Chains A and B, each alone.
Chain A
Amino acid sequence: MDWTIWLEWAIKSLVLIFTLLIGFGYLTYYERRFLALLQSRLGPNRAGPQGLMQWMADAVKLIFKEELIPAKAYKLVFILAPIITMVPSIVIAAVIPWGPNVNLFGRDISQSIANINVGVLYLMSIASIAVYGIVLAGWSSNNKYAMMGGLRSSAQMISYELTLGLSFVAVILLGNSMSLVEIVEAQRDVWFVVLQPVGALILWVATIAEVNRHPFDMPEAEQEIVAGYHTEYSGMKFALFFMAEYQKMIVVSAILATLFFGGYREFWFLKDTFLSVDRVPFLGPIYMFAKLVVLLGIMIWVRASWPRIKYDRLMAFGWKILLPLALAVVFITAVGILLAQEVNPWLMWLTPILSLFAGWIATLMVDRTIRRKNYA
């Protein structure tokens, strides 16, 4: 092992971290501007041209704000909690491939920091660690609202993590690998969202619940529990929670893009043209960026449109609808792959049809629950 590999890793890590940090800044800008447009407003447009420097102004404001530590807080944990929340949200991005290998300075360089063969497991484990920061923040604040926010967050994350894991299983079956690069390359002919649309939808819902975004933002429900787990935080510590939340948004969108929307690959019908990443490897990050913009835009659109759901409904939806549906999706995917291998490759198309049918039954179940609750 020569020293240049260390250099390569260091440079790639720095690039990734700075991309995420600046991406956080511009994601807040993007969210505020797009949300404003969805609400017939303009949004921030004063700081810099079209408000592009708004995030810098926000950062300066937050850095210079006074930081309060409550007298009865558990100080060590109180200070550690934002860091524990922040670190996984960056670390989790290490396995996401941003493009195929490129040849630079006579070296074959992969456009991900680590191409480990159990990438999906890595995603699962790091995503679970993120909840610790939130729970510890809620507990160490010594504040009932913060505590409740932390508890809600942990309950919600644990519930939806099962669904998340099961929808990962469907992707692992389809891609026949746990390495993210191989999963992306398996989507050369057709994206997995076409083969397993319901799986993609389940993963999307579960990731929204994982990052505590609307309509599943019960841990931070302003009307009920002030600001949830970060009620007592101010200044840069609050900014770290904020940063972690938005970086998690970027990262889960990247995961969703990687697992279901072809990752850094182009549309499957463009695979033999000059737009293909096989011909121009540097298009990979651009495709990834475009997919991130679309997926994050949908997240913001959802935030603008849908109301927050009640906490018992959230739990019931997670355990009674989403989890069985995810199990059904895994089963249907497995059956489809088996039939395609043993009988006829065209039977692969049973997978989307049957899973859409299962999804339809699930929506009927939701409708039934809502209607029954009305009479009760």
Chain B
Amino acid sequence: MLKELGRGLFTTFKMLVRGPVTTQYPEEKRQVRPRYRGRHVLKRYENGLEKCIGCSLCAAACPADAIFVEASENTDEERFSPGERYASTYEINMLRCIYCGFCEDACPTEAIVLGDNYELSFTDRRDAIYTKDFLLEGVPSPEMTTPQKVEPGVFTRSVPEMLDPQD
């Protein structure tokens, strides 16, 4: 009897020695895993142009039908992204999204990426629809914001050339 009772006390004592495993969440956040699928981010090139070309492949791939894309024409006077077209409307309904990451896989320009933000709360159903302004990542410097006025004939390819086509 005494041995078993002692073992019980020892088990909890070990926990006392080991210390608490609690993470004090709002103050202290745990690093997410490298392949964590959080909220989407629309990426930009180094020069500030948007990677998204408004092709709607993400919307086609989306099993939950959460993404809505509307494309418009780029001009060299007002250029948003390389190539002919850009996404003038880009909306994700976060109530529908299942964070499967198919949009990320479907994107030909690697424009949409599932980031590490998991703090998605809203108080209204309308707030659940994340618009392009919200999803688009920031620019490195203020003059790089879109639309840009560029030299004609530079940004003609909408999909960048592959670094290693064999890959």
Contact = CB atoms under 8 A, between A and B. Distances in A.
A40 B15 contact: yes
A363 B6 CA distance: 13
A10 interface: no
B163 to A, nearest CB: 48
Contact of A41 (B1, B5, B22): B22
Interface string A365-376: 011001000000
B120 interface: no
B165 interface: no
B1 A39 contact: no
B12 A305 contact: yes
A155 to B, nearest CB: 23
A302 B21 CA distance: 21
A337 interface: no
Nearest to B6: A305
B15 A38 contact: yes
Interface in B77-132: none
A367 B20 contact: no
Interface in B22-57: 22, 24
A40 B5 contact: no
A366 B1 contact: yes
Contact of B20 (A41, A301, A302): A41
B9 A301 contact: yes
Contacts of A370: 1
Interface in A264-303: 301-302
A302 B19 CA distance: 18
B8 interface: yes
A42 B20 CA distance: 6
Contacts of B2: 363
Given A305-B8, A305-B11, A305-B12, A37 B20 contact: yes
Contacts of A304: 12
A36 interface: yes
Interface in A323-368: 363, 366-367
A40 B12 CA distance: 9
Interface string A24-56: 000000000000111111100100000000000
Contacts, number: 41
A306 B2 CA distance: 12
Interface residues of A, number: 17
B16 interface: yes
Nearest to A363: B1
Name the residue in B8, B11, B19 with the highest tally of chain A Cβ atoms < 10 Å from its Cβ: B8
Given A37-B16, A363-B2, A367-B1, A302 B9 contact: yes
A80 B1 CA distance: 42
Name the residue in A40, A41, A42, A301 with the highest tally of chain B Cβ atoms < 10 Å from its Cβ: A40
Contact of B22 (A38, A42, A301, A305): A42
A38 B12 contact: yes
B66 to A, nearest CB: 36
Given A363-B2, A366-B1, A367-B1, A39 B15 contact: yes
Interface string B143-167: 0000000000000000000000000
Given A36-B20, A40-B18, A42-B20, A306 B8 contact: yes
A38 B1 CA distance: 22
Nearest to B2: A363
Nearest to A370: B1
Contacts of A302: 9
A39 B12 contact: yes
Name the residue in A36, A37, A45, A366 with the highest tally of chain B Cβ atoms < 10 Å from its Cβ: A37
A364 to B, nearest CB: 8
Interface string A183-211: 00000000000000000000000000000
Interface of A: 36-42, 45, 301-302, 304-306, 363, 366-367, 370
Given A38-B12, A39-B12, 17 more contacts: A36-B20, A37-B15, A37-B20, A38-B15, A40-B15, A40-B18, A40-B19, A40-B20, A40-B21, A41-B22, A42-B24, A301-B12, A305-B8, A305-B11, A306-B9, A366-B1, A367-B1
30 contacts: A36-B20, A37-B16, A37-B19, A38-B12, A38-B13, A38-B16, A39-B15, A40-B18, A40-B19, A40-B21, A40-B22, A41-B20, A41-B21, A41-B22, A42-B20, A42-B22, A42-B24, A45-B24, A301-B13, A302-B9, A304-B12, A305-B8, A305-B9, A306-B8, A306-B9, A363-B1, A363-B2, A366-B1, A367-B1, A370-B1
